[in-house]
Amino acid sequence: MADYQSKFLSNYFSVTDVTKFEELIKSCQTEGIMEIFQKDQPDGSIKYGFGSTNTIHGLPPKGEECGELYIFYGELRKLIPPGEAALVTEIGNEKLNYLVACCTVITQTEIKTIELESYALDLARELLNDPDFDTETD
């Protein structure tokens, strides 16, 4: 994984506390530049997004080793109002060994990740009418 390179980008979404959101993003560990974006909405509100030019590791661990990225998503979840979702898309690769394309959807109550390759494999199985179809891409 030493050569892994990725980019992250979120959609624009509402937050309940802009100051806490900015502090969370600024405290995030990344190997690249982390940026916050904002977009004015027709109703006068502002939606926010973020992106990084390389891998997001998450927040610095406090005491014990754990999934820092999951901690980051958990903290972000606390700032998302009901009826809103943050979609964080990652595209990355390690040379031509493998290619990653996934999206983590974060709502006030849940965090779920979808991964393109597994969805493509499911679609191939459906199109081939073969539930046992398998392949290797990396």
Tokens describing residue 83: 């009826």
Q: Domain boundaries in the chain?
A: 5-128
Q: Which helix (H) or strand (E) holds 65?
A: none
Write down how long the chain is. Answer: 138
pLDDT in tens, 89-104: 999 888 888 888 999 9
CA distance 31 to 49: 18
Q: What average pLDDT does the structure give for the chain?
A: 89
Cβ proximity of 102 and 117 under 8 Å: no
pLDDT in tens, 3-24: 888 899 999 999 999 999 999 9
Cβ proximity of 76 and 20 under 8 Å: no
